[in-house]
């Protein structure tokens, strides 16, 4: 199940120098500059931007160190914060080396453009990771989407099976299917902050505020501003209220419950605590500490359910019917950015333990693959965890992840060569 690539410490300075020369450091430096300007206008965006644009920030740090020292001071710096960016650089360069001049130029343009859009960056990371995975297995690759610039599949493994294997990669973020995305929530909280601080001045305990909207946050600035004032008036009234724009529920809680939690690195237990206090599940939440020792939890949710599975189903169906040719076997790889390697392993182990009720994921995949009307060419669907960086030895950094693959051996396009593609026993040492 795990897949991995390794970078040696002694390669790092040369690797970064090559990547900077090929791609141009102005791409990540300009991106970071723009994000820092946005952060100065809204402090709530800081952590969000760091997470969404981690590759740009890491490479910008490398550029700063290189300018300061003339080269990356590999022996005198903590490299762990920049390992993911260096892995991305390695993937890019490995892929570019296998392309002809025309496709290489087009791919460089796409890499440069990805720095301006986190969604594009995640997709590109996944494509290069998948390509490198098959390359390490010794296979020849082609990049149809880059070659044609059209709406087609990402990768052709030319010598896998009788006619090759088409691979389409989809990066599924935690935001997929959300009616209220994190960026919009952060912008609203910034707008509401002044009103919220005024309404909670002198608060010494904990106050839970849950806003339930009929749909998404208003797009109009005037409407969002009015909504923020409405919430403040509700807090001052001390009573939960239902308005046409939103239902606002308020209640007190013990602020001591929140003490000692690092919210920038909060895990599942912290999320469960917030959900327990607010009576919500997997919603956008903001926690604010007050000068008087009190704390405010503000949650924004939609009365309609988020539709992650619906969004995934639409994504996979479109990939199968619109992006793949249908004349060769195809595999769809979906990366769940919000799932750890351990979480993916636990999911697979649960589904493969006799007597356990199948997970929603397994039930949906089974249903999808059983429909042969327009997807007989699909020979498998694989779910990948987010990557994790480890240092197994003094001079080696390894990127690892987990894959949960559903083969479809009933397909008329199936070939024995498609078995065990993500089995660690089949990976070269």
159 has pLDDT over 90: yes
SS3 186: helix
29-47 pLDDT, tens digit each: 999 999 999 999 999 999 9
Section 343-372 average pLDDT: 89
What is the span of the domain harbouring residue 231? 182-302
Residue that wins the pLDDT comparison between 143 and 185: 185
Q: In the predicted model, what is the mean pLDDT of the chain?
A: 86
Residue whose token pair is 């924004």: 300
pLDDT at residue 264, as a whole number: 61
Query: Is residue 235, in this structure, part of any structural domain at all?
Result: yes
pLDDT over 50 (residue 3): no
Measured distance CA(102)–CA(47) in Å, rounded = 38
- What does the alpha-carbon distance between residue 270 and residue 287 come to, in Å, rounded to a whole number? 11
Number of H helices, E strands in the chain: 14, 14
What pLDDT is stored for residue 63 in this prediction? Answer: 94
Domain count, the chain: 1
pLDDT exceeds 80 at position 69: yes
> Residue 180 in contact with residue 304, Cβ under 8 Å?
no
Q: What is the pLDDT of residues 212-235, one digit of tens each?
A: 999 899 988 999 999 999 998 998
Does 259 map to a domain? yes
C-alpha to C-alpha distance for 134 and 137, rounded to whole angstroms: 5
pLDDT value of residue 147: 66
Does pLDDT of 204 surpass 50? yes
Residue 406 lies in a domain: no
d(CA 42, CA 193): 10
Q: In this predicted model, what pLDDT tens digit does every residue of 315-325 receive, in sequence order? A: 899 999 999 99
Q: Is residue 142 a part of any domain in this protein?
A: no
pLDDT single digits (tens) 269-306: 788 888 899 998 878 888 887 776 788 899 999 888 76
Categorize the per-residue pLDDT at 2 as very low, low, confident or very high, splitting at 50, 70 and 90.
very low
Nearest-angstrom CA–CA distance, 241 and 7: 57
Confidence of residue 4 (pLDDT cuts 50, 70, 90): very low
Q: Is residue 193 part of a domain?
A: yes
Mean pLDDT of 99-114: 89
What pLDDT shows up at residue 149?
A: 65
| Residue 260 domain-assigned (yes or no) | yes
> Could you give the angle at the alpha carbon of 280 between the alpha carbons of 276 and 285, nearest 5°?
95
CA-based end-to-end distance of the chain: 14
* pLDDT value at residue 343: 85
pLDDT tens-place string over residues 377-418:
999 999 998 776 666 566 666 667 788 999 999 999 999 999
Q: What is the pLDDT, as a whole number, of residue 1?
A: 36
Dihedral Cα 13, 17, 19, 25, nearest 10 deg: 120
- Whether the predicted pLDDT of 54 surpasses 90: yes
Q: What is the pLDDT of residue 425?
A: 66
Asked if residue 227 belongs to a domain, the reply is: yes
pLDDT (average), residues 197-219:
88
Distance of CA 354 to the CA centre of its chain: 31
Q: Specify if 212 maps to a domain.
A: yes
| pTM for the whole structure | 0.84
CA distance 412 to 415: 9
């Amino acid at each position: 199940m795990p897949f991995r690539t390794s970078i040696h410490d002694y390669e790092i300075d040369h690797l970064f120098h090559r990547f900077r020369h090929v791609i141009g450091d102005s791409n990540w430096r300009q991106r970071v500059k723009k994000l820092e300007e946005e952060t100065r206008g809204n402090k709530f965006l800081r952590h969000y931007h760091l997470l969404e644009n981690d590759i740009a920030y890491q490479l910008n740090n490398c550029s700063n160190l290189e300018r300061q020292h003339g080269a990356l001071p590999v022996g005198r710096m903590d490299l762990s914060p920049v390992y993911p960016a260096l892995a991305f650089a390695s993937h890019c360069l490995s892929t570019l080396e296998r392309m002809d001049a025309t496709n290489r130029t087009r791919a460089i343009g796409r890499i440069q453009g990805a720095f301006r859009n986190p969604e594009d960056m995640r997709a590109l990371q996944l494509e290069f990771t998948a390509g490198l995975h098959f390359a390490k297995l010794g296979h020849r690759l082609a990049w149809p989407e880059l070659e044609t610039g059209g709406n087609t599949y990402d990768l052709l493994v030319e010598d896998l099976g009788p006619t090759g294997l088409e691979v389409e990669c989809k990066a599924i973020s935690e935001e997929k299917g959300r009616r209220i995305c994190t960026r919009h929530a952060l912008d609203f909280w910034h707008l509401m902050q002044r009103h919220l601080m005024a309404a909670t001045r002198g608060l010494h305990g904990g106050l839970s505020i849950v806003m339930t909207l009929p749909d998404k946050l208003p797009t109009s600035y005037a409407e969002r501003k009015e909504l923020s004032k409405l919430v403040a008036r509700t807090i001052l009234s001390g009573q939960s209220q239902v308005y046409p724009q939103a239902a606002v529920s308020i209640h007190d809680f013990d602020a001591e419950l929140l003490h000692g939690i690092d919210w920038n690195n909060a895990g599942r237990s912290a999320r469960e605590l917030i959900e327990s206090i607010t009576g919500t599940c997997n919603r956008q939440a903001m926690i604010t500490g007050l000068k008087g020792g009190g704390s405010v939890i503000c949650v924004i949710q939609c009365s309609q359910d988020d539709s992650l599975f619906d969004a995934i189903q639409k994504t996979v169906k479109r990939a199968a019917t619109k992006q793949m040719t249908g004349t060769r076997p195809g595999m769809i790889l979906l990366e769940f950015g919000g799932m750890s390697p351990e979480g993916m392993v636990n999911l697979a182990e649960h589904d493969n333990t006799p007597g356990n009720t199948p997970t929603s994921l397994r039930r949906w995949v089974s249903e999808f693959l059983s429909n042969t009307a327009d997807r007989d060419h699909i020979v498998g669907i694989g779910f990948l965890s987010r990557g994790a960086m480890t240092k197994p030895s003094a001079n080696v950094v390894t990127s690892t992840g987990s894959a949960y693959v559903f083969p479809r051996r009933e397909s008329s396009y199936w070939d024995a060569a498609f078995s065990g593609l993500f089995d660690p026993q089949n990976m070269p040492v």
